[in-house]
Protein backbone atom coordinates (compact mmCIF):
# COMPACT_ATOMS: atom_id res chain seq x y z
CA UNK A 1 0.00 0.00 0.00
CA UNK A 2 1.18 3.52 -0.69
CA UNK A 3 2.28 5.21 2.46
CA UNK A 4 3.20 8.79 2.97
CA UNK A 5 6.61 9.13 4.58
CA UNK A 6 6.49 10.21 8.20
CA UNK A 7 7.89 13.62 9.09
CA UNK A 8 9.38 14.98 12.25
CA UNK A 9 6.74 16.59 14.45
CA UNK A 10 8.70 19.85 14.56
CA UNK A 11 8.49 20.13 10.77
CA UNK A 12 4.91 18.88 10.49
CA UNK A 13 2.06 20.81 9.01
CA UNK A 14 0.33 23.60 10.92
CA UNK A 15 -3.39 23.47 11.58
CA UNK A 16 -4.02 25.95 8.77
CA UNK A 17 -1.81 24.00 6.33
CA UNK A 18 -3.51 20.73 7.29
CA UNK A 19 -6.94 22.29 6.69
CA UNK A 20 -6.01 23.65 3.27
CA UNK A 21 -4.24 20.49 2.11
CA UNK A 22 -7.01 18.17 3.29
CA UNK A 23 -9.87 20.33 2.01
CA UNK A 24 -11.62 20.80 5.36
CA UNK A 25 -12.03 23.91 7.48
CA UNK A 26 -9.90 24.69 10.50
CA UNK A 27 -13.12 24.46 12.51
CA UNK A 28 -13.52 20.79 11.50
CA UNK A 29 -9.98 19.99 12.67
CA UNK A 30 -10.45 21.92 15.91
CA UNK A 31 -13.70 20.02 16.55
CA UNK A 32 -11.97 16.67 16.03
CA UNK A 33 -9.19 17.78 18.41
CA UNK A 34 -11.65 19.01 21.04
CA UNK A 35 -13.67 15.80 20.91
CA UNK A 36 -10.42 13.85 21.29
CA UNK A 37 -10.88 11.98 18.02
CA UNK A 38 -7.60 13.34 16.65
CA UNK A 39 -4.36 13.73 18.54
CA UNK A 40 -1.69 16.01 17.11
CA UNK A 41 1.87 16.52 18.19
CA UNK A 42 2.95 19.94 19.45
CA UNK A 43 5.97 22.11 18.94
CA UNK A 44 7.98 23.46 21.88
CA UNK A 45 5.90 26.65 21.56
CA UNK A 46 2.68 24.62 21.81
CA UNK A 47 1.52 24.85 18.19
CA UNK A 48 -0.13 21.73 16.87
CA UNK A 49 1.56 19.88 14.03
CA UNK A 50 0.04 17.28 11.71
CA UNK A 51 1.68 14.56 9.67
CA UNK A 52 0.71 13.78 6.08
CA UNK A 53 -0.74 10.46 7.29
CA UNK A 54 -3.16 12.42 9.46
CA UNK A 55 -4.30 14.40 6.40
CA UNK A 56 -5.54 11.16 4.84
CA UNK A 57 -7.96 10.84 7.76
CA UNK A 58 -9.38 14.36 7.26
CA UNK A 59 -9.73 13.84 3.49
CA UNK A 60 -11.43 10.47 3.92
CA UNK A 61 -13.91 11.65 6.55
CA UNK A 62 -14.74 14.72 4.44
CA UNK A 63 -15.54 12.49 1.44
CA UNK A 64 -17.75 10.03 3.31
CA UNK A 65 -21.47 10.51 2.56
CA UNK A 66 -22.39 9.76 6.19
CA UNK A 67 -21.07 10.92 9.55
CA UNK A 68 -19.33 8.23 11.54
CA UNK A 69 -19.85 7.87 15.31
CA UNK A 70 -17.07 9.35 17.45
CA UNK A 71 -15.58 5.96 18.40
CA UNK A 72 -15.41 4.83 14.77
CA UNK A 73 -13.75 8.14 13.80
CA UNK A 74 -11.19 7.78 16.62
CA UNK A 75 -10.42 4.20 15.58
CA UNK A 76 -10.15 5.25 11.92
CA UNK A 77 -7.75 8.04 12.85
CA UNK A 78 -5.55 5.62 14.81
CA UNK A 79 -5.62 3.13 11.96
CA UNK A 80 -4.53 5.71 9.39
CA UNK A 81 -2.25 7.96 11.40
CA UNK A 82 -0.52 5.29 13.47
CA UNK A 83 -0.30 2.64 10.75
CA UNK A 84 -2.19 0.00 12.73
CA UNK A 85 -3.55 -3.08 10.94
CA UNK A 86 -6.71 -3.21 13.05
CA UNK A 87 -8.45 -0.78 15.38
CA UNK A 88 -11.93 -1.28 16.82
CA UNK A 89 -14.29 -2.25 13.99
CA UNK A 90 -11.78 -1.09 11.34
CA UNK A 91 -9.17 -3.20 9.60
CA UNK A 92 -6.72 -2.53 6.81
CA UNK A 93 -6.64 -4.85 3.81
CA UNK A 94 -3.93 -3.92 1.31
CA UNK A 95 -5.38 -0.97 -0.69
CA UNK A 96 -8.60 -0.60 1.27
CA UNK A 97 -10.16 -0.15 4.70
CA UNK A 98 -12.99 -2.31 6.01
CA UNK A 99 -15.53 -1.27 8.64
CA UNK A 100 -16.96 -4.46 10.08
CA UNK A 101 -20.57 -4.73 11.13
CA UNK A 102 -23.91 -6.13 9.97
CA UNK A 103 -23.02 -4.98 6.45
CA UNK A 104 -19.27 -4.49 6.02
CA UNK A 105 -18.26 -1.16 4.47
CA UNK A 106 -15.24 -1.32 2.18
CA UNK A 107 -13.37 1.89 1.37
CA UNK A 108 -10.66 1.86 -1.32
CA UNK A 109 -8.04 4.40 -0.29
CA UNK A 110 -5.14 4.06 -2.74
CA UNK A 111 -6.34 6.99 -4.92
CA UNK A 112 -6.93 9.14 -1.85
CA UNK A 113 -3.44 8.41 -0.51
CA UNK A 114 -1.93 9.30 -3.90
CA UNK A 115 -3.86 12.60 -3.99
CA UNK A 116 -2.67 13.52 -0.49
CA UNK A 117 0.91 12.54 -1.38
CA UNK A 118 0.76 14.77 -4.47
CA UNK A 119 -0.65 17.74 -2.51
CA UNK A 120 1.93 17.45 0.26
CA UNK A 121 4.80 17.03 -2.24
CA UNK A 122 3.70 20.11 -4.19
CA UNK A 123 3.30 22.10 -0.98
CA UNK A 124 6.74 21.03 0.29
CA UNK A 125 8.35 22.05 -3.01
CA UNK A 126 6.72 25.45 -2.76
CA UNK A 127 7.77 25.85 0.87
CA UNK A 128 11.37 24.86 0.07
CA UNK A 129 11.45 27.27 -2.84
CA UNK A 130 10.11 30.13 -0.71
CA UNK A 131 12.75 29.46 1.95
CA UNK A 132 15.56 29.29 -0.62
CA UNK A 133 14.39 32.56 -2.22
CA UNK A 134 14.40 34.27 1.18
CA UNK A 135 18.02 33.26 1.65
CA UNK A 136 19.27 34.02 -1.86
CA UNK A 137 21.95 36.73 -2.20
CA UNK A 138 19.87 38.69 -4.73
CA UNK A 139 16.86 38.92 -2.40
CA UNK A 140 19.17 39.94 0.46
CA UNK A 141 20.68 42.75 -1.68
CA UNK A 142 17.23 44.03 -2.70
CA UNK A 143 16.02 44.01 0.90
CA UNK A 144 19.18 45.85 2.03
CA UNK A 145 18.64 48.55 -0.60
CA UNK A 146 14.99 48.91 0.40
CA UNK A 147 15.96 49.45 4.04
CA UNK A 148 18.63 52.04 3.26
CA UNK A 149 16.59 54.09 0.82
CA UNK A 150 14.56 56.86 2.34
CA UNK A 151 10.83 56.75 1.66
CA UNK A 152 9.70 59.12 -1.09
CA UNK A 153 7.69 62.06 0.14
CATH of the domain at 131: 1.10.1660
How high is the pLDDT of residue 94? 86
Query: Exposure of 33 by Cβ count < 10 A (0-12 exposed, 13-18 middle, 19+ buried)?
Result: middle
User: What integer best gives the mean pLDDT of the chain?
Assistant: 85
How high is the pLDDT of residue 8? 39
- The percent of residues in the chain predicted with pLDDT above 90, rounded, is 63
Q: Does any domain span residue 41?
A: yes
Q: Does any domain span residue 97?
A: yes
Name the domain count of the chain: 1
| Tens-digit pLDDT profile for residues 11-28 | 789 999 999 999 999 999
Q: Does any domain span residue 3?
A: no
Pairing of strands 86-87, 90-93: antiparallel
3-state secondary structure of 99: strand
Structural domain boundaries enclosing 80: 9-148
Q: Does any domain span residue 1?
A: no
Q: Does any domain span residue 142?
A: yes
Residue 133 Cα distances to 14, 119, 136, angstroms: 21, 21, 5
For residues 20-40, average pLDDT:
95
Q: Does any domain span residue 2?
A: no
How high is the pLDDT of residue 10? 40
How high is the pLDDT of residue 133? 63
| Tens-digit pLDDT profile for residues 74-85 | 999 999 998 899
Taken in order 54, 57, 60, 66, the sign of the CA dihedral is negative
| Tens-digit pLDDT profile for residues 102-138 | 999 999 999 999 999 999 999 988 888 776 666 656 6
Amino acid sequence: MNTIPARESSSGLSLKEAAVLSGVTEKVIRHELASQVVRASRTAAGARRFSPQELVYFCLVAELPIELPRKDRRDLFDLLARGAARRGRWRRESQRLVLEGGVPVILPISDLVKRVEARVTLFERGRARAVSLQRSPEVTRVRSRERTQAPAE
